[in-house]
Amino acid sequence: MGLGLRLEKVTPDNVEAAIALKVRPDQERFVSSVVKSLAEAYAQPQPGTAWPRLVYDGDELVGFVMAFFDVRFDPDNPEDRPRSGLWRLNIAEGRQGRGYGTFAVRAVCEEIRRRGRSRLVTVTWEEGEGSPEPFYLSLGFRRTGETSGDQIVGELDLDV
């Protein structure tokens, strides 16, 4: 892990590099492309719902993370509480296993804590060979027992 590890906003200067960022081909079924995530961020009716950020190590772009704040999985269900968490996490092919994913998750946790509304960090993942499930479990996320579509819902309590 380099010294200059940080998150940066997406800007006109770095957006092309951001879109060119790719996970391994066999991992593409677990995460949307950066371009799709940025389009979804732009299309949110409530500005500020999505928080897309680039992960840099020094001058090198190594990943993309997109958090969400206070969103319901099912907007029509009053029982479904608003949640915050991770919508997307893409660490570049060839740059995985170096702590960048962990850094991005911790940075999102920090942002959720800073905003002060929620102490819970939600993420969903797909099961299967190569699934990120072991990664999230190793960071302390626990399965809630819910699913969102065909995805497993995991949660991390920032107070524990």
Ligand X SMILES: CC(C)(COP(=O)(O)OP(=O)(O)OC[C@H]1O[C@@H](n2cnc3c(N)ncnc32)[C@H](O)[C@@H]1OP(=O)(O)O)[C@@H](O)C(=O)NCCC(=O)NCCS
Q: Which parts of this chain interact with ligand X (CB under 6 A)?
A: 23, 27, 30-31, 89-91, 96-102, 125, 130, 132, 134-135, 138
**Which CB, 134 or 149, lies closer to ligand X?**
134
Smaller CB separation from ligand X, 127 or 157? 127
CB of 27 vs ligand X, minimal distance in Å: 4
Q: How far apart are CA 26 and CA 30, in angstroms?
A: 9
Looking at beta carbons only, is 73 or 135 nearer to ligand X?
135
The set of long-range contacts for 75-83, using a CB threshold of 8 Å and a minimum separation of 24, is 82/118, 83/118, 83/120, 83/122
Q: Select the residue whose beta carbon is closest to ligand X and give its number.
A: 101
Smallest gap, in angstroms, from Cβ of residue 37 to ligand X?
11
Q: Which tokens belong to 135?
A: 């990664």
Phi, psi of 137 (to 5 degrees): -65, -35
For tokens 């608003």, the residue is: 82
